[in-house]
Amino acid sequence: MHSGLHVAAEYAERPRSSVEGSYTPIMTTPQLRTVVSDMSFTECPRWHDGRLWFVDFYTHAVYSVKEDGSELRRELEVPAQPSGLGWLPDGRLLVVSMKDRTILRLEDDGSVVVHADVSAHVTGHPNDMVVDGEGRAWLGNFGFDLMAGADIEPASLLRIDPDGTVTSVASGLYFPNGSVVTPDGTTLIVDETFGNRISAFTIHADGSLGERRDWARFGDQPSSPSLAEALGMAVVAPDGCGLDAQGCPWVADAVGSRVIRVREGGEIVDEIALGTGAYACMLGGSADDTLFISCAPDFDEHARSAAREATIRAVRVAVGHAGRP
């Protein structure tokens, strides 16, 4: 196991800080069920055309499954490790291919082509992605070699236009990760996994972004490049997320073994404890009110690629899905 990831495991089960003591969780006894099991590391769940789509890092594929866990299908092979998913307005699938730093596009005839090569624009593996109603993909990246436990470096956020043009639209972000676009298409909300914050940007008509602002701030930004120190400072490590119809993102806390529902301003208004690592979540299902959660014991690449312990769990919640994904 890499040294940096030993640190991650150490912090994954630590008691939560006093920040979380200022709210009363709405959901104290959620009825969780397992939808998918025996995977390596599930990520980027998306509800699309009546099925749950997701990726599994170390079986190198995109999958879909029915809401009840039946009819699991292996939709697409991604040998260089799949991550973020989204669909263009015409229905073609986009998927991040992490280790060759490209965005792939599944054509109507079943062929796979490179939609964009982002290798010249990122300083770490590209990761999660949201595709908006105009077909623009908003893409984060690690910014550094996470799996080797390297020092943290701020990263850029990219916009990939429908024709594959790549533009850097924001910089100085601490591992920009899961993101959502509000239903009116005017705001991009971005989790910064090692920044103790969720950031928001106004999306202008030309696709440029306004200045970064805090959507939620849980603690201080890293005071040194040390990954161990950043993990030690993490009150919340926002990973994957999905937006609800009251404008609150559900956020997977990558060091807290939980998902949290966050109101603008930073108030945590709901929490679901998983008892294992939680790395992504998304609302969907036939009534749009099922929260699907990607779970695994940790995010260590060696351990996860060698095991099949990852799952997707699901729970009904009070407020349904909104926005994109």
The Cα angle at residue 27 between residues 267 and 11, in degrees rounded to 5: 65
321 is a domain residue: no
324 is a domain residue: no
- Mean pLDDT of all residues belonging to the chain: 91
322 is a domain residue: no
Which residue range forms the structural domain that includes residue 106? 3-316
Q: Would you state the pLDDT for residue 17? A: 35
- Residue 74: what residue type? R
Q: What is the mean pLDDT of each run of 10 residues along the chain (325 residues)?
A: 41 39 47 97 98 98 98 98 98 98 98 98 96 98 78 92 98 96 98 96 97 97 84 93 98 97 97 97 98 96 96 97 98
| Beta-bridge partner residues of 139 | 129, 158
Cβ contacts of 63-66, under 8 Å, gap ≥ 24:
63/36, 65/35, 65/36
Q: What is the percent of the chain where pLDDT is above 90?
A: 82
247 is a domain residue: yes
Confidence (pTM): 0.91
55 is a domain residue: yes
Domain count, the chain: 1
CA gap 155, 323 in Å, rounded: 25
Q: Would you state the pLDDT for residue 79? A: 98
140 is a domain residue: yes
Q: Would you state the pLDDT for residue 25? A: 46
pLDDT tens-digit map of 118-161: 999 999 999 999 999 999 999 999 887 777 777 888 999 999 99
Q: Would you state the pLDDT for residue 202? A: 98
- What token pair was written down for 275? 């008892």
The Cα angle at residue 234 between residues 229 and 237, in degrees rounded to 5: 125
323 is a domain residue: no
The answer to whether the Cα torsion of 205, 207, 209, 215 is positive or negative is positive
The CATH number of the domain holding residue 27 is 2.120.10.30
- In the 8-state DSSP scheme, what is residue 227? H
